[in-house]
Amino acid sequence: MRRLFLLRHAKSAWPAGIADFERPLAPRGIAAARLVGDYLRRENFAPARIVVSPARRTRETWRLVSEAWQPAGAEVSEDARIYAASLGTLLALVRETPPDAPGLLLIGHNPGFAELAMLLSDAVTSVDDDYRRMTRKYPTAALAVIDFAQDDWHVVPESGRLERFVTPKQLGGHDDD
């Protein structure tokens, strides 16, 4: 079995004169990232590989999530391809994951993450309420967990089961665009 985690960065600020790539997290984003980190720790999730977009808001999201979660033993890296990635680029990145990594966490951006989650999740086998919520809105700091009943990362459309879709609001925070 393979498990893919898709975490959209937390809510960012829009300071004047700052390029998109350098936008920091907003206060609500900081709180949401910590909530998600606490959730990952409580659920005992342990992906073997974590790949983060190098944009400031994703790096800050990862820092706050990891402080609350404290994952052990995961290989963490940045990949510039995640920033402003197309659906095809994100799918290729997933497929490049080494076969010895049963779990992969990507931290990045929309619209690519929402598109990838919907492409890979089979509506019939996925958790109904979570699937419907995910297809309506994939807010900042939302986490999709998709399971694949295979032994490699050569995933194809609708081959995964959306096991859960968690948003900051469900964790006691606020959902933002």
Using 70 as the pLDDT threshold, list the residues of the chain that sit under it: none
Rounded CA separation 135/117 (Å)? 9
pLDDT at 174: 79
pLDDT at 128: 83
Instruction: Give the tens place of pLDDT for each residue, 29-66.
Output: 999 999 999 999 999 999 999 999 999 999 999 999 99
pTM score, two decimals? 0.96
pLDDT at 173: 80
Does the CA dihedral 82-61-47-150 come out positive or negative?
negative
The answer to whether 117 and 86 are in contact (CB under 8 A) is no
pLDDT at 59: 98
